[in-house]
Copies of this chain bind each other. A is one copy, B any other.
Amino acid sequence: MAILNRADAAPENASSPVAAAVTPLLIGPPPLDADKFRRQGRQVVDFIADYYACIDDYPVRPDVAPGFLTGKLPETAPYTVEPDALTAALRDVRELILPGITHWQSPRHFAHFSATASNVGALGEALAAGLNINPFTWEASPAATELEVVVTDWLGKALHLPEKLLFAGGGGGTLLGTSCEAMLCTIVAARDRKLAEIGEERMGDLVVYCSDQTHFSFEKAARIAGICRGNYREIPTCRESGFALTAKALQAAVSADEAAGRVPLFLCATVGTTPTSAVDPLRELCAAVEGRDVWVHVDAAYAGAACVCPEFRHNIAGAEAVDSFSTNPHKWLLANMDCCALWVRQPTALVAALGTDGDVILKDAVVRSSQTGVVDYKDWQVALSRRFRALKLWLVLRCHGIDGLRAVVRSHVCMATAFECMVRADARFEVPVPRQFALVCFRLRATAALPGEDKLPCGAVDDVTANNELNRRLLEAVNATGRVYMSSAVVGGMYVLRCAVGNSLTEERHVREAWNVVQKQAAVVLAIKNKTDNQVPKN
């Protein structure tokens, strides 16, 4: 094909059939090129490797002000580019962008939940991006669909999920982007199944249930699905039950709705809540709604991964009775962002709600699929288009094996346990809820600010508020060092710091350093508080 420079182009003729047919075809530098890819790919691989090698040098959370980057970039994209634009672009990434990102892969990132990365997780994404296929139907890429069927069964078996959630047992799994998507798809499946039975006009009567510890994604998913705002039941939990949802409270809420003529639709139970990694008791909760046709979904976004180890499997006891289960291999199973595995007991319910058959484009392929019984994953998710995520997850399982994943989970739990022990050994601190998995919630005691002096009556409002504020300041001080990044939660009125161990580069020394930073900053904020308190006349 003839290659012309831009100056040779005749844009005004480009859409004229006659002119185009006789004009040599126009093309710039070829955007896809095997040899150039080999060279450019190495540049990018080296860039990433260099980043991993020096990631510990960056403050975990950057100390930047809003607008810091916007002001450094031009107002429009370039029209023409320099010959070796990638080299220049990578320099921009190093000089402008890296100093402004929060380094989620830093060994000293203990905030939120981890996004446990791996070499093959990143390279699996790269490989999928290189092949760049769009396997929305079996026919649009047979191997991609079949690999997804195989790998979701592999993962389900590795987690010891009930067989009825796997293809091998009449259910089946798919790979989505996030837990919220999994919640949305299953709510819609449950909603449409129910409305088909009771009539679309009763949409406003449908009620969904969760606890006050459930991730806010569930409320969002329910709202997106059109569940009335007033029909979202966030059932209170308490410290005594470890912030888990109790069957008794659920049953009371469901009964009250039924008595009022409303229709209980959906329960989202969590295994490993975001604030404290609490575990809702699946067996008891399923029993509480048994016979009521309530769809029970399990959000095990973070902690589901732990079930690769036999010693954690009791956390999903009773899952035989649930309708769907999801966990995020991008959180704790080395499958870089993004990857959420969703299994459902009745794929037909999902397909009935999300399937499309009136399409004039894919009709032939869809007819063939229904004849041969293959899966068309477009009918299991919100969108039509999808990435080849199965390749990444398969690479991770293929290259690390179940033993490798167990080692990762156990090493993180061990490090979190070590951190918990260090906290407990310091009398100024408390661990108000037991460590679960690799998450430690901790805080300065109310009495810490007044060592050896009189203390306020325990539980007084002023005391609680002041102590929450003290811990908020502690977290701010810890994060401001740039040496550690932790997060917080408010549970049962208590502000707690969260230390979530889960990064692939984190070693025991990082956990010890993190604790040293916390202790040092605690001394500082306590000293400031004591000084301020002493300036206030005592009653």
Name A53-111 residues within 8 Å CB distance of B: 53, 61-62, 64, 66-70, 73, 75-81, 85-86, 88-89, 92-93, 96-105
Using Cβ atoms and an 8 Å threshold, which residues of chain B touch A336? Answer: 129-130, 132
Q: Summarize A's interface: helix, strand, loop or mixed.
A: helix
Is the pair A40, B123 in contact by a Cβ cutoff of 8 Å?
yes
Structural contact, B35 and A49, CB atoms closer than 8 A: yes
Given contact pairs A14-B311, A140-B102, A401 touches B504 in the complex (Cβ within 8 A)? no
Q: Does A147 contact B (CB under 8 A)?
A: yes
Q: Is A451 an interface residue (CB 8 A)?
A: no
Contacting residues of chain A (214-246) with chain B, CB-CB under 8 angstroms? 215-217, 219-221, 223-230
Residues 1-15 (chain A) with a chain B CB within 8 angstroms? 1, 6, 9, 11-12, 14-15
Residues of the B chain whose Cβ atoms lie less than 8 Å from the Cβ of A64: 142-143
Whether a CB of chain B sits under 8 angstroms from the CB of A415 is: yes
* A-B pairs with beta carbons under 8 Å apart, 6 shown: A32-B504, A77-B157, A85-B399, A188-B223, A203-B228, A216-B358
A309, closest chain B residue (CB) = B11
Beta-carbon contact of B374 and A66 below 8 Å? yes
- Which of B69, B184, B383 is close to A147, meaning CB atoms less than 8 Å apart? B69
> Out of B25, B337, B400, which one reaches A134, CB within 8 Å?
B337
Stretch of A279-287, A458-466, A505-513 with 4 or more beta carbons under 8 angstroms from chain B: A505-513
Q: Identify 14 new A-B residue pairs, CB closer than 8 A, beyond the known A31-B121, A125-B129, A382-B382.
A: A25-B411, A28-B411, A31-B117, A33-B119, A37-B52, A38-B49, A41-B119, A48-B126, A76-B154, A85-B401, A178-B382, A200-B230, A274-B361, A363-B490
Q: Taking the complex as formed, is A180 at the interface, i.e. its CB lies under 8 A from any CB of chain B? A: yes
Determine the chain B residues whose CB is within 8 A of the CB of A155 once the complex forms. 77
A198 interface residue per 8 A CB criterion: no
Interface hit among A253-261, A262-270, A417-425, A527-535 = A417-425
CA distance A135 to B200 in the complex (A): 38
A139's partner among B61, B68, B78, B411 (CB-CB below 8 A) is B61
